[in-house]
Amino acid sequence: MSTPLGQWLMSEAPASRRQAVLGSFYRGVRAIFANPTALAGLFIVALLVAMAVFAPWFAMGRSPLSQDLAQRLAAPSPEHWFGTDELGRDIYARTLFGARVTLTIVVLVSVVVVPIGLAVGTVAGYFGGWVDAVLMRITDIFLAFPRLVLALAFAAALGPGIENAVIAISLTSWPAYARIARSETLAIARSDFIQSVVLQGASTWRILFRHVVPLCLSSVIVRLTLDMAGIILTAAGLGFLGLGAQPPTAEWGAMVSSGRDVILDQWWVATIPGLAIFIVSLGFNLLGDGLRDVFDPKSR
């Protein structure tokens, strides 16, 4: 039997905006926990966040930067759980602290691409005409190039570093969100409630920000979650080529690069960070698939 709070949250006739928002959030959480795919992805993503936030605690005093040449390329052992790299640095600690770099890049790219994609897509879809034509042709130009190749070009032009890697990835990622927002806006703009808001005298920008953008947000978030794996792989690729985080910062792509010369004899140097990239990418893919099943009406 549901509790009074659960009944209040699940009410089909909410008495206030707060009740409606909390009820919608509660239904979403229940749907995620009822979906095994979304729950597995959520667990992996939560583990990534925990690794990033509590990396010093999980490392148990191990430093990701301290070198010990006497222990270089040591195999996994009770002292060094994942072994050491070519400079004797503990790979376990570097993998933990590398999660911080990965999470930072994911968060910063998300903060950049979602507003840009929503702004371009909603404006193009709502105004139409020459505004739509100009904005979509600019979007098509970015979509015409492979994302990784374009990101490499931008990163090479801007120079190595995490900040420049974020800019390069963001510049190549926003067009997909603009396309989704535009298609959603084209359908929303013709709906009866938008026409009702127009007749009430609401300004264009109020309609966009208060009514159109919130309705487009769910589809964009689902797409963003599915794209997280691509963002992580692109960031790792830039790090592998020396265009991402710079030494001695622990970054998974750079760690794979440093271990590629000894992968046959000291497999752990490149394999451990490679497995971290694989597991986190899989987690975001599972979470994205689950969110699509839960929130996307087209897949229900």
Q: What is the rounded average pLDDT of the residues 239-249?
A: 87
Cβ neighbors of 287 (< 8 A, separation 6 or more) are 38, 41, 42, 44, 45, 225, 228
Give me the pLDDT at residue 8, please.
Answer: 75
Q: What is the rounded average pLDDT of the residues 114-126?
A: 92
Has residue 55 got a pLDDT over 60? yes
Helix (H) or strand (E) holding 12: none
**What's the mean pLDDT when you consider all of the chain?**
87
Give me the pLDDT at residue 7, please.
Answer: 76
Give me the pLDDT at residue 54, please.
Answer: 92
pLDDT digits (tens, 9 = 90+) for 178-212: 999 999 898 888 888 887 877 787 788 888 888 88
Neighbours of 267 (CB within 10 A): 14
pTM: 0.85
Query: In sequence order, what are the beta bridge partners of 84?
Result: 90
Angstrom distance (rounded) from CA 264 to CA 205: 59
pLDDT digits (tens, 9 = 90+) for 129-166: 899 999 999 999 988 888 888 888 888 898 888 899 99
pLDDT band for position 111 (cuts 50, 70, 90):
very high
